[in-house]
Amino acid sequence: MAEFTMELSDEQKEVKEWIHGFAADVIRPAAAEWDEREETPWPVIQEAAKVGIYSLDFYAQQFFDPSGLGIPMAMEELFWGDAGIALSIVGTGLAAIGVVANGTEEQIGTWIPQMYGTPDDVKVAAFCSSEPDAGSDVGAMRTRAVYDEAKDEWVLNGTKTWATNGGIANVHIVVAVVDPELGTKGHASFIVPPGTAGLSQGQKFKKHGIRASHTAEVVLEDVRVPGSCLLGGKEKLDERLARARERAKAGGGGERVKNAAMATFEASRPAVGAMAVGTARAAYEVALDYARTRTQFGRPIIDNQGVAFQLADMRTQIDAARLLVWRASWMASAGRPFTSAEGSMSKLYASEIAKKVTAQAVQILGGNGFTREYPVERMHRDAAIYTIFEGTSEIQRLVIARTLSGMPIR
């Protein structure tokens, strides 16, 4: 495994500059328009596909970067461009992670290409875990999957919410309960192929931020999928459920348990931290430029200690957040266990800093920062999501505290 280093290789620097150029030239000029439209920016996604950023190959190359820094580096640059559009570009990745984390090689090879489509016919995918009564509390999940042995099919019923690309996706990955008596240990993930009867889009949410990213409910009414669409396969599921039942009979509740949804979120948390770093950095750079050029009382406002100290703190906190993200990403790549919940640490700190830094940027710009003529207003709205999705800050603190104490994470 690669040794940890904070120095990017020449190849990584080239990739970083390439992504940054796309974010600056394509994403940023379109950001305000698609934020106002509150629609999926299909033309931008297609442009990303044409240059190779929206593709299985691109994410595979970044994912398998031996340093572990490929994905966080890419996320930071894309979200520096604009969070809403960037999430539309990378949202498919969460569903892809769900397949990679839980699926067989055949499932990975069959379904992930269908999630992206082609540059001439781009597709998106959705990961469906949260429910109206089961957001952070995955143990309260009610969507059921029942096996029809005669037809070798699974029948799914329930409602998912807060699904990025929900309803418009070509492929949906749905987490459902297969054994209610086992709690979170009785969950499994399923692939819902395109055009499957019974799956429909429910409410599309009008959001405070990341408005270019489609977020909606997904309704499942007697959705039938082939047995081959159970991620990991039925044999593996049966073995896992049998072990869980044996532990339950033996009164074994102290062992830390990971279910399908938790495995996906754990793998993606440092990447979400990198997204937050990108948004924070973008707002900081706008504020810094503004402070250098805006004059009051005959001098640039950066000469005022109150403004200068804010900028100093902003930059320090952004760099600290990036280092936590890089550490967690390197650990994951090197196969090092998150013994102190380092993944959750990175997501927690980076998301909290994004909210803080974007608020400070608005304050430094004053009245201008409160208008839509300057991007920090949008960045501040976008940053609010980082402390909420893929595990709220409260959940991250719970995960960290339970990990440190040795208590089970449920």
Q: Using one digit for the tens of pLDDT, what is the confidence trace for 294-352?
A: 999 999 999 999 999 999 999 999 999 999 999 999 998 888 888 899 999 999 999 99
Model confidence at 383: pLDDT above 60: yes
CA 289, CA 395: separation in Å to the nearest integer?
36
CB 48 within 8 A of CB 78: no
Categorise residue 213: left if φ over 0, alpha if ψ from -120 to 50, beta otherwise. Answer: beta
DSSP assignment of 261-327 equals: HHHHHHHHHHHHHHHHHHHHHHHHHHHHHHHHH-EETTEEGGGSHHHHHHHHHHHHHHHHHHHHHHH
- pLDDT for residue 260: 53
**Active-site choice (153, 266, 390, 394):** 390
Q: What are phi and psi of 27, to 5 degrees?
A: -75, -55
Q: What is the pLDDT of residues 135-170, one digit of tens each?
A: 667 778 999 999 999 999 999 999 999 999 999 999
> How far is the C-alpha of 215 from the C-alpha of 315, rounded, in Å?
31
Extract the tokens encoding 217.
């409910």
- Which pLDDT belongs to residue 343? 93
Between these two residues, 59 and 301, which has the higher pLDDT value?
301
Looking at residues 174-189, what average pLDDT do you find?
93
Query: Is residue 387 pLDDT above 80, yes or no?
Result: yes
Q: Is 390 a catalytic residue?
A: yes
| Percentage of residues in the chain having pLDDT higher than 70 | 94
Crossing angle of the two packed helices 342-365 and 376-383, in degrees rounded to 10: 150
Mean pLDDT of 105-114: 95
Q: Which residue has the higher pLDDT, 194 or 244?
A: 194
Q: Give the global pTM.
A: 0.91
